Each structure stands twice: as structure tokens, then as C-alpha cells.
């Protein structure tokens, strides 16, 4: 019985150490996966499309639905929509990373853009390529706000 108890303690210690190592690696990957999401937010805050180019993989696509039709842009086309200046109502805009979930070399990020006229929810698919996290796809929903 004593040998069993010792074996159980050793087994629990090994499992605990493995879980801690996995948990630390997961936290490091989640932090690294936030980097392109933060660049995306910075692009919106500054109007600088260069941050989009840094955040998105060159093969990335942006999807949305407007008037019941699927719309698609490349990352380069999306970056061109940024004019290099913050929006006139920038002081009233709020944006944040809602969540990040990483498994291995893929992940999902949810971003909220809360603007005076609309609230947008972005779902970003993330991928780790050559040791660097990038946004590979973005799909979003824009919910117009009632005019006051």
C-alpha cells in the first residue's frame, strides 16, 4: 500500500509538471497570437494600412455579407481601405480583443469594434507560419446602431 501511495504521488507530480509546461506554452502562444490582432486594432485607430499588411498573411481573405450577398477581399484590397488618418470620430470609438483561443499552430480571435454608428464583431482565424502568428481569414458582422 505504501508503494502504491508513493507511486501515486510521483504520477501526480509528473502529470502536474506536464500540465504546467503545456499551460505555459499555451499562454505564450496566446500572447503571441494577440500580436497581429493588436496590429489590426492599431490600423483602425490610426488609419494606417501598413498595420493591416503586418497583421494579415499575404494570402488572407476578408469575408462579409451585405444585402444577402457574400463579399470577399484580399488582404491587400482590405489594406487599401485605410487612408492613413484616424477617423474624424476616433475619440468616440472603442475597440478591443474579446477573446483568443489557440490550439497548436491555429487559433481564433474575436474582436469588437464599437463605433458611434455601428458595432462590428470580427472573427479572425489565426495561423502560425514560420514561427509568426498571422491573420489568415476575417469574417465580420456589422450591426447598425439606432440613430439618436
Q: How confident is the model at residue 3 (pLDDT cuts 50, 70, 90)?
A: low
Burial of 124 (0-12, 13-18, 19+ CB in 10 A): buried
Domain count, the chain: 1
Q: What is the residue range of 136's domain?
A: 2-144
Look at residue 104 in the predicted model and tell me its pLDDT: 93
Q: What is the pLDDT of residues 12-29, one digit of tens each?
A: 454 455 444 544 555 889
DSSP symbols for 44-61: HHH--THHHHHHEEEEEE
CATH value at residue 45: 3.10.450.50
- Strands, sheet with 118-129, edge to edge from the N-terminal-most edge strand: 69-74, 56-66, 132-144, 118-129, 106-114, 94-103
pTM for this structure? Answer: 0.81
Amino acid at each position: 500500500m505504501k508503494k502504491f501511495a508513493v507511486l501515486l504521488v510521483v504520477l501526480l507530480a509528473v502529470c502536474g509538471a506536464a500540465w504546467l509546461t503545456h499551460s505555459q506554452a499555451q499562454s505564450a502562444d496566446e500572447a503571441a497570437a494577440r500580436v497581429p490582432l493588436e496590429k489590426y486594432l492599431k490600423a483602425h485607430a490610426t488609419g494606417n494600412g501598413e498595420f493591416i499588411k503586418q497583421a494579415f498573411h499575404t494570402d488572407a481573405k476578408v469575408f462579409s455579407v451585405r444585402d444577402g450577398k457574400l463579399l470577399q477581399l484580399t488582404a491587400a484590397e482590405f489594406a487599401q481601405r485605410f487612408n492613413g488618418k484616424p477617423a474624424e470620430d476616433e475619440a468616440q470609438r472603442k475597440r478591443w480583443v474579446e477573446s483568443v483561443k489557440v490550439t497548436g499552430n491555429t487559433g481564433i480571435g474575436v474582436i469588437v469594434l464599437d463605433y458611434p454608428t455601428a458595432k462590428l464583431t470580427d472573427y479572425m482565424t489565426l495561423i502560425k507560419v514560420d514561427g509568426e502568428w498571422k491573420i489568415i481569414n476575417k469574417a465580420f458582422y456589422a450591426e447598425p446602431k439606432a440613430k439618436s
